[in-house]
Amino acid sequence: MVKSELMKYSCPLGKAMSALGSKWKPIIVLVIKDRKLRFGELAVRINVISRKVLTDQLREMQTDGLIIREEFKELPPRVEYSLTEKGLALLPILYQLEEWETKYHVYDPQKEKDCKMIMEEKKIKKTVV
Amino acid sequence: MVKSELMKYSCPLGKAMSALGSKWKPIIVLVIKDRKLRFGELAVRINVISRKVLTDQLREMQTDGLIIREEFKELPPRVEYSLTEKGLALLPILYQLEEWETKYHVYDPQKEKDCKMIMEEKKIKKTVV
DNA sequence: CTGTATCCCCGTAGATACTG
DNA sequence: CAGTATCTACGGGGATACAG
């Protein structure tokens, strides 16, 4: 363990952010919500994420106790993800973050334009959350 | 703009996390709180962060409208940082994150030991938050 | 005192092809 | 369907020295 990792263990917020602070985890929590979702459904709903990264993130979240992974030994295989109690407890906080962002949002027409452009270019029909 | 940045503009939570999702920003918000703090005070309170990175983060947070930077043209120079309304609105959410972490925290004695060890090794007396 | 200027490491995440 | 396996790129973050 090096100095740079110290924060992860030295304060509650540091620990919280290390479980939640990655690029995709909050999104994943919000997308799963109170349902069970299969891997493929997750991949479709968050279609700007690659399957490898999605897998990685799900594994870490499982380790951190945020989600439950149920594997059904069928053919074709089926895996369902759902939130643990800990993960569910995160939902209201994430909603508040959304509200916060919406309330203080500064509208940037250029960014919106860029966003539209790239979505067409990449043939992305529907985006996250 | 590339696909990977799409999330930043495609949903509120994405935008929120891009303003807040870095390693140090939530900590900085929590440390400034309702006071005005000088650069040096911040550096002492978050003493596991390098001055360069602290500067970088503060600049970005200023751009995102989270903090106010007041520069006094004195000798020696003095700079004071405080939260904007937007930054202040973040505080209750961060407190809830702390509570969340505290509630669902899994105690890991090994990590705690590692943490103590490195703090002595690096002569860190007091840590963040 | 409050930063810059460099230089560098390492981890996250992306693309693509392949597998049980 | 639900992943792995590789390889690669980028940039956040860190150490250290220097500057106004």
Sort out which chain B residues have CB atoms less than 8 A from A116's CB and list them: none
Note whether residue A92 is domain-resident.
yes
Note whether residue B115 is domain-resident.
no
Note whether residue A80 is domain-resident.
yes
What residues pair up with B78 in beta bridges, in sequence order?
B72
CA distance B119 to chain A (A): 8
DSSP characters over A76-89:
S-EEEEEE-HHHHT
Work out the pLDDT band at B11, boundaries 50, 70, 90. Answer: confident
Sort out which chain B residues have CB atoms less than 8 A from A122's CB and list them: 3
Q: Are A10 and B115 in contact (CB under 8 A)?
A: yes
Structure token digits, residue B113: 């030991």
- Lowest mean pLDDT of B66-70, B116-120, B121-125, name the range: B121-125
Q: Which residue has the higher pLDDT, B116 or B62?
A: B62
Separation in Å: D11 C1' and B23 CA: 13
Position B74 scores a pLDDT of: 84
Position B4 scores a pLDDT of: 60
The helix (H) or strand (E) run that includes residue A71 is strand A67-72
Closest C-alpha to B5, from A118, A91, A126: A118
Note whether residue B118 is domain-resident.
no
pLDDT at A76 over 90: no
Q: Are A77 and A71 in contact (CB under 8 A)?
A: yes
Note whether residue A47 is domain-resident.
yes
Full-model pTM: 0.89
Note whether residue A109 is domain-resident.
no
Work out the pLDDT band at B75, boundaries 50, 70, 90. Answer: confident
Position A62 scores a pLDDT of: 94
Interface of A with B in 60-119 (CB under 8 A): 65, 85-86, 89-90, 92-94, 96-98, 100-106, 111-112, 114-115, 117-119
CA distance A29 to A32: 5
Question: How many domains would you assign to chain A?
Answer: 1
Please list, residue by residue across B23-34, b when 16 or more beta carbons sit within 10 angstroms of its beta carbon and e when fewer do: bbbbbbbbbbee
Non-local (6+) Cβ contacts of A35 within 8 A are A82
Note whether residue A5 is domain-resident.
no
Position A14 scores a pLDDT of: 85
Work out the pLDDT band at A66, boundaries 50, 70, 90. Answer: very high
CATH code (residue A54) = 1.10.10.10
pLDDT at B6 over 80: no
pLDDT at A102 over 70: yes
Which nucleotides of chain C are near protein (any atom < 7 Å from a CB)?
Answer: 1-6, 12-17, 20
Work out the pLDDT band at A48, boundaries 50, 70, 90. Answer: confident
pLDDT at A123 over 60: no
Q: CB A13 to CB B27 under 8 A?
A: yes
Is the peptide bond between B77 and the residue preceding it cis, with omega within 30 degrees of 0?
no
Note whether residue A54 is domain-resident.
yes
Closest residue on chain A to B85 (Cα):
A104
Q: Are A105 and B8 in contact (CB under 8 A)?
A: no
For residue B62, the enclosing domain spans 12-104
Q: CB B3 to CB A94 under 8 A?
A: no
